[in-house]
């Protein structure tokens, strides 16, 4: 019988340090490749979409003279809060009347997230840009600045994170994304617990190849508009 080789404490420490260094290098290389894809896609996208931005901004402004963009604090990687922009799709005082609509929450009365079909706060212009996720396009700026990535769990609002369980908080271990694994699989039709499970699966299997696949799936998902409300 072969006698197992006994390693000395020094050898164990050296092996542990080597493994830590290797994991850091692998993690850093993944981050660099992900960041490269983000920049390579976002810069030409912003240039090509600039005429669309101008048209959408004009329609929003002409409808009710309100602000074109809606800015909201969102929670990013490791709990860092950043400014999150969207083309404004609701009436100007939408946040003030949100509490009155909680009883009609599409994700349940005690749900973490708030969603409802035929939300009366949404303007006619807003309904169209939400249908095709045009309202999300200003977030390309957040991808450019590094607060977001093209692919990753969607960034939650502060009040949602306050209701998170420890499992839910694992979504905050990576940079949030413009699109996500559940966003291409039904968007708001998917219950919050299932969204969490899908995000965790994405984090565990994260790679440049999987990100590219999700980006390619995003276009048909947006055109179908399933779960967009």
Q: Is it the case that residue 198 has pLDDT exceeding 60?
A: yes
What pLDDT is stored for residue 120 in this prediction?
81
Q: Is it the case that residue 57 has pLDDT exceeding 50?
A: yes
d(CA 138, CA 214): 20
Q: Is it the case that residue 140 has pLDDT exceeding 70?
A: yes
User: Tens digit of pLDDT for each residue in 85-99?
Assistant: 999 999 887 777 676
- SS3 string, 16-82, reads HHHHHHHHHHHHHHHHHHHHHHHHHHHHHHHHHHHHHHHHHHHHHHHHHCCCCEEEEEEECHHHCEE
What pLDDT is stored for residue 31 in this prediction?
74
Confidence band of 109 (pLDDT split at 50, 70, 90): very low
The structure's pTM equals 0.76
pLDDT top residue among 192 and 114: 192
Say if residues 142 and 148 touch (Cβ distance below 8 Å): yes
What pLDDT is stored for residue 81 in this prediction?
97
């Amino acid at each position: 019988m072969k006698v197992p080789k006994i390693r000395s404490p020094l050898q164990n420490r050296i092996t542990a340090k080597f493994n830590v260094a290797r994991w850091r290098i692998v993690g850093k290389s993944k981050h660099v490749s992900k960041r490269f894809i983000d920049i390579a896609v976002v810069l030409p996208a912003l240039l090509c979409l600039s005429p669309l931005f101008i048209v959408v901004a004009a329609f929003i402004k002409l409808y009710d003279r309100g602000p074109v963009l809606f800015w909201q604090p969102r929670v990013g990687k490791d709990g860092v809060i950043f400014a999150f922009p969207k083309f404004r799709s609701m009436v100007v005082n939408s946040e003030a009347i949100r509490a009155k609509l909680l009883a009609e929450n599409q994700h349940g009365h005690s749900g973490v997230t708030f969603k409802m079909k035929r939300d009366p706060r949404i303007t006619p212009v807003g309904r169209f840009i939400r249908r095709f996720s045009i309202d999300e396009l200003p977030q390309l700026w957040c991808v450019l600045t590094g607060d977001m990535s093209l692919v990753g769990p969607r960034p939650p609002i502060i009040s949602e994170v306050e209701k998170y369980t420890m499992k839910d908080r694992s979504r905050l271990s990576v940079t949030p994304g413009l699109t996500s694994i559940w966003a291409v699989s039904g968007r708001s039709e998917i219950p919050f617990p299932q969204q969490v499970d899908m995000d965790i699966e994405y984090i565990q299997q994260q790679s440049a190849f999987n990100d590219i696949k999700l980006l390619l799936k995003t276009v048909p998902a947006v055109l179908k508009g399933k779960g967009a409300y």
